[in-house]
A and B are shown apart, each in its own frame.
Chain A
Amino acid sequence: MNISPSKLISLLFFIFSGFFLYTAHQIEVFAFDEGAAFNAKTFPIYLGYAGLVFSALFIILPETNPTNVDLKVLDYKKTVGLVILMILYGITILRAGYFLSTSIFLVLSYIVLGERKWIWIFLLSFPFVAIFMYLLHGLLNIYLRDPFLKFIGIMG
């Protein structure tokens, strides 16, 4: 039996809604609120049921407008590469500081996407981030924590 990717996603959503409904029932409300017409778990419970109903309908009913995606033409390598870089960016942003982690993220992203014009790669990373930081920190007064720049004495 073949199941379309959209139906598979709906099946996953059905399971997720079931889990959501179960978790909604587990929400502990105050004792005096237990029998109230509306408490903290009322709305989530309705949402759980709504999720089950809509996903079940999609699974049962025929697909009117099936989406065909040619999986062979998708660029998994670059997409996964970018996602990994973003995760690394998230890990390093607080430790290495905004300037260094952002600049390195940009440089590596350009390279992952196949860019090899080194002057532009440089200009659109370190100097670009420095100007952006100046705009945020210097002009808009938005604080940016940066241990690296603090360490080298550029930022207070």
Chain B
Amino acid sequence: MIEGILIGLDTALSLKNLMMVMIGCFSGTIIGMLPGLGPMTAIALMIPITYGFDPATGLILMAGVYYGAVFGGSTSSILINAPGVPGTVATSFDGYPMAQQGKAGKALAIAAYSSFAGGTISAIFLLIAAPSLSLVSLSFRSPDYFGLMILGLTAVAAFSSKGNFLKAMMMVVLGLMLASVGQDTLSDIPRFTFNNMNLSDGISFVLVVMATFAMSEALTIIFKANDPTRAAKQVSLSQLGSIKLDKVETKKMLTTIPRSSVLGFIIGVLPGAGATIASFLAYGMERNFVNDEEKQKFGKGSVNGIAAPETANNAACSGSFVPLLTLGIPGSGTTAVMLGALLGFGIQPGPRLYQTNPEIFWSVIMSMYIGMVVLLILNLPLIPYIARVLATPRTFLIPLILFFSVTGVYLMSFNNFDIYMMIGIAVVATILRLYDFPMPPLILAFVLGGLMEENLRRSLLLSDGSWTFLWDRPLTLIIMLTILFIVGWQIYKSFLKK
């Protein structure tokens, strides 16, 4: 492991990669800060650029963007009560009231220190957990992988559906359908191409991500521009107050951070749960842990109320890398986008990544530490200036997002057909979003579609066409029972509310 850490450090500390971490954190912060644009959009916009680099550098850039976007999201939560990402909604509960009291700088500093601590502690957990899990996952077979993929999709659908599990499951199926367009990987037989040559290679991952996130996000913002419920209230962006914390505040943070880090990391590892659930759970847990006097301050600008969700959402980010790096199965929409990008580089994450590409495996982990430091020393002092991005008029912002989206797809293929298809998918995605059909399950399914079919193919061929492979091994059986429980419970809930 020491050798791996040194390899990782060597790669991550190269001048080019250090630059990428800084650029990633900085641009991620800016994009994540803009209400409505989250880490997935930020990473999606970066993908075409990463293809110009080697895989380790590309992934380091994306990891930096991811952390930056989560940090940026908390800034808009605190300053304008408009969380840039769902994972920072809980931060606004106390962050915005504190900002209204003229202590925006302090709220931002608490968020930054907590993010740093949460990210760093969980990166240590990742360092320990990932190699061990990699070794365990080597014993996984095709039926287990097939089961795990269904479990991941079901869990993401259950968590991201805002109570509409069936809507999310429809999106899962739609994502898998889109992934099955193009030539069959084994027999090269064209499927759903309708004799169109442009579809024979399938639909590009970048195209689907850009269309369903960046482009449809931009169209949704314009579509709902007059919606009074979306209007953001503004705190003064020029006078944020001091960023220094006193002893009492520091002491409060020191008790909150360890427990929220552990909780955030565990939630992050679970497929589908992610930063949003981690931050809400940490907020709730913290409220139960503090004394009655402190409890009264929750919702009115509590230090613990900001530190807990901020620590947990960053810890969950690191946690979500565990299933990606060790099993090759992303646990969230954001890591699904990263998996897609890795596959684009010709790298298959999974248990063997640890052995075949140790420089990627370790450099990503090492770059997380560096990313945290960058966020703290670069972004915190720059916050008063970066915060002005929030004042960027939508009239400029939206066309620029559309321009980056079209350019991203154009650079991949130099083909107008892809641009038209992207616009078509974006329009459909905008309508679907309007009625709360979630997009992360679609992306996750699209990325996992090929792998899922491959593992099902192997499982069915090995069992001579029999579906008994689903319960032959205890591990597969446990996974399948968990899936049945999630699906059954979600459908039962629909009946309960009748």
Contacts and interface: CB of A to CB of B under 8 A. Distances in A.
Interface of A: 5-6, 9-10, 13, 17, 20, 23-24, 27-30, 33, 36-44, 47, 50-51, 54-55, 57-58, 61-65, 67, 69-70, 73-76, 78-79, 82-83, 86-87, 89-91, 93-94, 98, 102, 105-106, 109-110, 113-115, 120, 124, 132, 136, 140-142, 144-145
A38 B187 CA distance: 11
Contacts, number: 189
B493 A90 contact: no
A151 B396 CA distance: 30
A79 B170 contact: no
Contacts of B403: 102, 105-106, 109
A39 B399 contact: no
A54 B164 CA distance: 12
B11 interface: no
17 contacts: A9-B432, A9-B437, A13-B174, A20-B177, A36-B465, A43-B453, A44-B192, A51-B174, A57-B166, A57-B491, A61-B491, A67-B434, A75-B224, A86-B423, A93-B406, A106-B400, A132-B407
Nearest to B184: A40
B244 interface: no
Given A38-B456, A44-B192, 11 more contacts: A9-B432, A20-B192, A27-B189, A36-B465, A42-B456, A51-B170, A54-B166, A90-B406, A94-B414, A109-B398, A109-B399
Interface string B381-411: 0000000000001111011101100110011
B166 A61 contact: yes
Given A43-B453, A47-B180, A64-B494, A89 B400 contact: no
B191 A41 contact: yes
Tell me what chain B mostly uses at the interface: helix, strand, loop, or mixed.
helix
8 closest A-B pairs by CB: A37-B465, A109-B399, A90-B419, A115-B395, A65-B163, A40-B184, A113-B395, A58-B166
A6 B165 CA distance: 13
B346 interface: no
Nearest to B496: A64
Contact of B173 (A17, A120, A142): A17
